[in-house]
Amino acid sequence: MTAMFESAVDKAMPMPSAPGALEDAHARMVLDDWERRWYGEPRFKYELVRSYEEAVFALREHGEGAKALAGGQSLVPLMNLRVLRPSALIDLNGIAAIAPQVEGGRLSLSAMTRYSQVLLSELARCRTPLLTTAIAYVGNVRVRNRGTIGGALAHGQATSELAAVVLALGGEILAYGPTGTRLIHAEEFFVGHLKTDLRPEEVVTGLRLEVAQSRQGWSFRELARRSGAEAIAGVAANVTLSPERDVISGVRLGLIGVDDRPVAGDRTVLSSLLGRIPTPAEIDEVAAEVTARTAPVTDWQSSASYRRRLVRVLTRRALTEALQRAEERASAE
């Protein structure tokens, strides 16, 4: 039990990253005579960039200790707590966000789009209601005003609502780095605890999500202990009905809180739903199977066994609701 608790005492009073780092940082101190204010060597070099090319160049130039700053809602708290001490901050906020657009059956969001802009976008609300529904659970209004799509993706939190949606809607993450542009499929993007497939010096530039089709239904369910708190677990579901026979022709799930990273619902298990309209009992069976293929952990918030039960319930409810919505839309045609 002791080992599982990374000491928050250490987080509150962390040790410096390298011996001598602090002393070196204070080799030069300046006293501003006019304002009688002391300024030490700043903790980090700060550079505002206005394009992804500039960003990548700056990240390369400043080396391993450099971090890209987007919304700052995840990064800056860690810096305030002294848990993360980047040597350089590359501020991406000089890069203008492009308004959401739809082309080729996909909603395109530029990385610097704020959560709040997605919520206000009529296009997003109509074409990707799963996305706008899930985003309403993210943090609080301030987090949504500053937090960006690209930043959230790059952070890769295991409980990110955006990640669940990205997995459920066949998301494609666009990245740019020294070797140029790259497209990463959602299912290959989240690789570990706060770890994505992004290479060093690569930044997320955009996200593409499948828009809702006429015979599709969606659902998002999560349980958090309080509004705005981190989800204990959550499920994003997208169900497609075939045009001819009104049976399930496609189903995707994005799951959060089930592992050290966001995961897609197991394809093999979900494929058992294809070609039919499952009964409630069958949906529950699938939910149980999907859950069984995940690896939720015990932490100080919840036990793994509770998470398992919760995920099964949420998965069942999400699938049920998504199917229901799909059926309603199909019959409205």
In sequence order, the β-bridge partners of residue 195 are 192
Map residues 105-134 to x or -, x wherever contact with another protein holds by CB under 8 A: -----------x------------------
How many residues lie near another protein (CB under 8 A)?
A: 72
What residues numbered 176-205 form the site for another protein, per CB under 8 A?
Answer: none
11 DSSP 8-state letter: H
Q: How far apart are CA 10 and CA 304, in angstroms?
A: 25
Examine residue 97 and tell whether it contacts another protein (CB under 8 A).
no
Residues composing the chain: 333
Among 57, 84, 93, 282, contact with another protein (rule: CB under 8 A)? 93
Q: In this chain, which stretch among 86-94, 196-204, 243-251, 268-276 interacts with another protein, using CB under 8 A?
A: 86-94
Examine residue 96 and tell whether it contacts another protein (CB under 8 A).
no
Q: How far apart are CA 310 and CA 326, in angstroms?
A: 24
Map residues 217-236 to x or -, x wherever contact with another protein holds by CB under 8 A: ------x-xxxxxx-x----
Q: Which residues contact 51 (CB under 8 A, 6 or more apart)?
A: 95
Q: In this chain, which stretch among 88-96, 166-174, 182-190, 211-219 interacts with another protein, using CB under 8 A?
A: 88-96
Q: In this chain, which stretch among 32-40, 58-66, 159-167, 171-179 interacts with another protein, using CB under 8 A?
A: 32-40
Q: In this chain, which stretch among 37-45, 103-111, 174-182, 186-194 interacts with another protein, using CB under 8 A?
A: 37-45
Among 18, 30, 188, 212, contact with another protein (rule: CB under 8 A)? 30
What residues numbered 266-325 form the site for another protein, per CB under 8 A?
Answer: 300-303, 305-306, 308-310, 313-314
The conformational region for residue 287 under phi > 0 = left, psi -120 to 50 = alpha, else beta, is: alpha
Cβ burial 151-161 (10 Å sphere, 16+ → b, else e): bbbbbbbbbbb
Examine residue 16 and tell whether it contacts another protein (CB under 8 A).
yes
Cβ burial 271-310 (10 Å sphere, 16+ → b, else e): eebeeeebeeeebbebbbbbbeebebeeeeebeeeebbeb
We find the least distance from the C-beta atom of residue 87 to another protein, in angstroms, to be: 11
